[in-house]
Amino acid sequence: MPEIEIDPTTRIEGHHSTTLSVSDGEVVRAESEMNMFRGIESIVLGRPPSDAPQVTQMVCGVCFTCHRQASILAIEDAARRAGMFDSVPLHGRLLRDIMEGMFLLWNHTIHLFTLAGPDYSEAVADTGFDRLDPVDGAGYRAALRRQRELLQAFSAFGGRAPHPLTYAPGGVTADPDPETVEEVRETVAAFRDWLGPTDALEAVLSTARDRGPVPDHAPGLYDLCSVLVAAEEAGATGFGVGPGRFYANGMFYGTGDRSLVLPRGIYADGRLRRPDREELIGGITEDVSHAWYTGDSGGPATTAPPPEPAPEKTDAYSWGKAPRFEGQSMETGPLARLIAADRDPGDIRASPGGDANRSSTFNRLAARVQELLIVTGLVESWLDELDVDEPMTGEWTDDFSGSGVGFWGASRGALSHWVDIEDGEVSRYQIITPTTWNLGPRDADDEPSIFEEAVEGIAVPDVSNPIDVMRTVRSFDPCLGCGVHVQGPDHNFETTIEPHAPGGEQ
């Protein structure tokens, strides 16, 4: 049986490879390998809980805000249950949502134009959409400019990007003035003017399908619809099909109560349910049967220790673990989030996607386009609601013991941070990322991950160019930086960093 080794996977964040077994011109088995060890959980042990967000946001230079947010939610949850914390002030919570929303717009724009977009361009796939051509395409270049402007505006609230400084336990330490808020509002408005209105989606999709002229009121949306048209024409509605099980943590609190604007949900067997916190906590486990970790590195997320490497382990092929909910693999990401929210703007997942709740390469792309439109409107409304004269942060202390979980919806899907704190120090820490949910290895029963199952059955007429497999892996927008970290092949390294004291020698 022929094997195809794709190493590295290109146009994703981080290091990944796939081994495909091919029979009669189609994939019959796939093994998804995360190529580097993760050890970020070990770094926060023994530190005050307020250090954890600063350290864990360094897990990745792309997914930085969501890790800081999930970490803060975890330690706030622990403090609240210990009776040491009440809640984040409304406008501090709102400013967090604005920054998270701007980050998501930036991240989705990068994915749709820079990472996945070239797969559907004239230069790569002869689609006729030369505006999508990498580097030289007019749409590609415009998107780069817009995402740069978004990140610059994000820095006005976050202090810097990547790795903002102002998210903090208890709220946000930023103190923006009205002029700064107005400048950010103008940037988001310019992004909306480039993108176009949500209600134009169906008409612009039709124009792109006809290769019509770029509409002045929605040039960005035209390019995004070009991606969807090219994906549809490539057959993406019928390949990259997962098992139809979805998991979303939800995200954004907005101006209402503690309910989420994009709600939490589990979709399986054609049914949507909304598990509460305790159901999620009780249902999530990590399997390490095919991961290069010791057997006791897995298990329930509430008790699993930081991962212990076992690089010589038999039958292992990945540094990623295999998360499961109630023993089953779950797809996560914007598609899962919109299924949980029961939203399908323009009905484009229902048609041409075939079913709004269908797992496919096309529907993953479509959901990202839809979420880009939805969140742009949310960020605009929250900027209008933000009152810089209201409190942004509350009281905080690290001096407590307790356990907490931070559930959040990163741009790539369901993210959770799990923490135990003893006498003001982190005693255990665990991170479960969207990419391990989607691209992890098989479990003890040899059940594949979502990505492994999604590529099985894909036709590979040319073994030197398995393009639909690559289109499928990119449709998950994997971020291996969040899933894995660094192991030296021959040596151990230890570095001591002495903080610079104000007024002292550097």
Residue ranges for the known binding site for Fe cation are 63, 482
> Which amino acids are annotated as binding site for Mg(2+), given as ranges?
41, 431, 485
Write out the two tokens for 96.
Answer: 């967090």
For the chain, counts of helices (H) and of strands (E): 16, 14
- Relative orientation angle of helices 361-385 and 178-195, to the nearest 10 degrees: 150
Write out the two tokens for 396.
Answer: 């905080």
Say if CB 240 and CB 438 are below 8 A apart.
no
> Which amino acids are annotated as binding site for Ni(2+), given as ranges?
60, 63, 479
> How distant, in Å, are the alpha carbons of 212, 243, 305 from that of 494?
59, 43, 21
Count Cβ neighbours within 10 Å for each residue of 291-326 and write b for 16 or more, e otherwise: bbbeeebbeebeebbbbebeeebeebbbbbbbbbbe
Rg over alpha carbons for the chain, rounded to the nearest Å, is 22
Amino acid identity, position 236:
A
> How distant, in Å, are the alpha carbons of 15, 28, 403, 430 from that of 303?
28, 36, 11, 9
> Which amino acids are annotated as binding site, given as ranges?
41, 60, 63, 431, 479, 482, 485
Say how many residues make up the chain.
Answer: 506
- Peptide bond preceding 8: is omega within 30 degrees of 0, i.e. cis? yes
Bridge partner residues of 413 (DSSP): 410
Say if CB 204 and CB 226 are below 8 A apart.
no
Amino acid identity, position 370:
Q
Say if CB 400 and CB 79 are below 8 A apart.
yes
